[in-house]
């Protein structure tokens, strides 16, 4: 096989990584916006605790996060056993990889959106309210559009994080080719076998390219949205 040619298993790992990262990003977006709005605008007892829990995956070892997910969402876990009765299974499935990636990328998404919400001029919202707009309408027409740069940045940061997630994913859903073997897992597998350096380097280059493209796209889209809002 040509050094630059990907094998079918390598293509599967790339495609699965993109699929998992996309699902993780989109599934966590509504909750991410809600939590960011809560932390940015509401004062309540235990806010620091909630903020700490949201950002906990950033400071905990990813393996710990994956193990906790396995305890909760595994077939014998309290949540996993309940969902299994309805045919919803996360452990050792690609959906479990998406769940693990969503949890790991959630703090980055929330932080980006929260900072964007806090930067919104509250006087604009107050002016809309004085004109008779209710709270929901103010949020949809004033707050949400002004927050779009942060939302875009949060989405792509979450996507990039999901593309590189390894510890939580392999602990929760293992490393099953064609089912849960994402790019980082495939790279790890190549490093464990003789002669796997070429495959590991190919996938490493692809992983770097996708992550870099995501970060550049985040910057470009955030700037474009910001210019449109300013205009």
Token output for 2: 């040509």
Cα of 102 vs its chain's centroid, Å = 4
Residue 147, in any domain of the structure: yes
CATH number at residue 21: 1.10.3720.10
Question: Where does the pLDDT of residue 229 fall: very low under 50, low under 70, confident under 90, or very high at 90 and above?
Answer: low
Residue 98 is part of which domain span?
8-230
Residue 178, in any domain of the structure: yes
What would the DSSP string read from start to end of 40-91?
Answer: HH---TTHHHHHHHHHHHHHS-HHHHHHHHHHHHSTTSHHHHHHHTTT---T
Residue 76: the pLDDT is: 85
Residue 167, in any domain of the structure: yes
Q: Is the pLDDT of residue 1 over 50?
A: no
Residue 154, in any domain of the structure: yes
Residue 176, in any domain of the structure: yes
Q: Which range among 9-13, 72-76, 86-90, 100-104 has the greatest average pLDDT?
A: 100-104
Q: How many domains is the chain partitioned into structurally?
A: 1
Residue 35, in any domain of the structure: yes
Residue 226: the pLDDT is: 65
pLDDT tens sequence across 121-153? 788 878 877 877 777 888 888 888 888 888 988
Residue 2, in any domain of the structure: no
Residue 173, in any domain of the structure: yes
């Amino acid at each position: 096989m040509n050094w630059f040619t990907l094998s079918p298993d390598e293509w599967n790992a790339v495609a699965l990584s993109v699929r998992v990262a996309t699902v993780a990003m989109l599934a966590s977006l509504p909750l991410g916006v809600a939590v960011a709005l809560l932390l940015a605008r509401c004062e309540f007892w235990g806010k620091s605790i909630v903020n700490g829990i949201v950002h906990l995956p950033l400071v905990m070892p990813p393996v710990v996060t994956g193990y906790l997910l396995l305890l909760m969402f595994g077939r014998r876990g309290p949540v996993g056993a309940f969902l299994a009765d309805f045919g919803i299974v996360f452990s050792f499935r690609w959906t479990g990889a998406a769940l693990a990636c969503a949890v790991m990328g959630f703090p980055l998404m929330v932080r980006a959106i929260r900072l964007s919400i806090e930067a919104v001029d509250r006087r604009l919202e107050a002016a809309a309210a004085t004109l008779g707009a209710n709270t929901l309408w103010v949020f949809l027409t004033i707050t949400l559009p002004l927050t779009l740069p942060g939302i875009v940045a949060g989405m792509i940061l979450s996507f990039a994080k999901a593309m590189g997630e390894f510890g939580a994913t392999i602990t929760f859903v293992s490393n099953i080719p064609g089912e849960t073997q994402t790019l980082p897992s495939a790279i790890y597998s190549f490093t464990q076998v003789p002669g796997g350096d070429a495959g590991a380097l190919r996938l490493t280059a692809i992983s770097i390219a996708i992550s870099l493209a995501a970060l550049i796209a985040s910057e470009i889209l955030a700037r474009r949205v910001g210019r449109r809002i300013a205009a």
